């Protein structure tokens, strides 16, 4: 049986003129649903009323997905510990909630979009 030929990224870089990338050094941050639930609930509390419902609904959806994957105790525990970390990241100051949006917003939005969440 013939083995498939795999073109390494480093080789392709040399041949195609692309920069060589070590596949093990590339990390893609993909948050869990519990982490995103923590983010959305905290973002809702620190945002204007016009965004509150949308963010809170996203938090509920993310938490429900986490419960389906991990069970309620594990999901709620992870969400709680992530909320504690996030509160430390904003120095317990709701005026700094934008820090969370910058760090978690894009990846959590993508996670929910991939799960076909539709905001109200």
C-alpha 41/C-alpha 87 separation (Å) is 12
Q: What is the pLDDT of residue 4?
A: 47
Query: Residue 94: what pLDDT?
Result: 87
Considering the domain boundaries, does residue 5 fall inside one? no
* Any domain includes 24: no
pLDDT at 28: 62
- Tell me the backbone φ, ψ of residue 119, rounded to 5 degrees: -65, 150
- Domain count of the fold of the chain: 1
Q: For residue 13, what are the CA distances in angstroms to 5, 77, 80, 83? A: 16, 44, 43, 41
In a domain? residue 90: yes
Record the tokens describing residue 39, joined without a space: 């983010």
Check if the beta carbon of residue 35 is closer than 8 Å to that of residue 105: no
**pLDDT average, residue stretch 4-14:** 43
pLDDT tens per residue, range 32-91: 999 999 999 999 998 888 999 999 999 999 999 999 999 999 999 999 999 999 999 999
Residues found in the chain: 120
Question: What's the whole-model pTM score?
Answer: 0.75
Instruction: Look at residue 82 and tell me if it is in a domain.
Output: yes
Specify if 42 maps to a domain: yes
Check whether 20 has a pLDDT greater than 90: no
Q: Which residue has the higher pLDDT, 52 or 22?
A: 52
- Per-chain mean pLDDT for the chain: 83
- Three-class DSSP category at 98: helix
- Per-residue pLDDT at 30: 80
Domain carrying residue 43: 33-114
Q: Are residues 104 and 112 in contact, defined by beta-carbon separation less than 8 angstroms?
A: no
Q: Is residue 77 part of a domain?
A: yes
Asked if residue 74 belongs to a domain, the reply is: yes
Q: Are 62 and 108 in contact (CB under 8 A)?
A: yes
Tell whether 96 is covered by a domain: yes
């Amino acid at each position: 049986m013939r083995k498939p030929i795999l073109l390494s990224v480093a080789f392709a870089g040399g041949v195609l003129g692309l920069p060589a990338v070590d596949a093990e050094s590339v990390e893609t941050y993909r948050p869990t649903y519990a982490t995103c639930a923590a983010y959305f609930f905290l973002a809702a509390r620190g945002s204007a009323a016009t965004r509150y419902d949308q963010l809170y609904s996203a938090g509920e959806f993310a938490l429900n997905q986490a419960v389906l994957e991990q069970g309620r105790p594990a999901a709620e525990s992870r969400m709680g510990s992530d909320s504690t970390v996030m509160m430390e990241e904003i120095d317990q100051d709701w005026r700094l909630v934008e820090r969370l949006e910058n760090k978690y917003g894009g990846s959590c939005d993508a996670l929910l979009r991939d799960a076909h969440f539709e905001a109200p």
